[in-house]
Amino acid sequence: CEMDMYMRRKCQECRLKKCLAVGMRPECVVPENQCAIKRKEKKAQREKDKLPVSTTTVDDHMPPIMQCEPPPPEAAR
């Protein structure tokens, strides 16, 4: 096949043959399962990057806790 922008995706076998013919090492071919894993990782990272980052702390949302003294022993009776 003649390799152009359309055919390089359409006929991957001919593209690989051409790459090997011009000197690409066969061990440089990445198996499809590794490509799928990498795509999945990239997608997960993009989704993670979309999440809003909160700059508030718990203290910003909670009222201060008042310090209380226990009642005197005579009041407990």
If phi > 0 it is left, if psi is from -120 to 50 it is alpha, else beta; for residue 11 that is beta
Express each pLDDT in 6-21 by its tens digit.
887 888 888 889 999 9
This model's pTM is above 0.85: no
Regarding predicted confidence, which is higher, 25 or 61? 25
Which sign, positive or negative, has the C-alpha torsion 67, 72, 73, 77?
negative
pLDDT at 11: 86
Q: Which amino acid makes up residue 6? A: Y
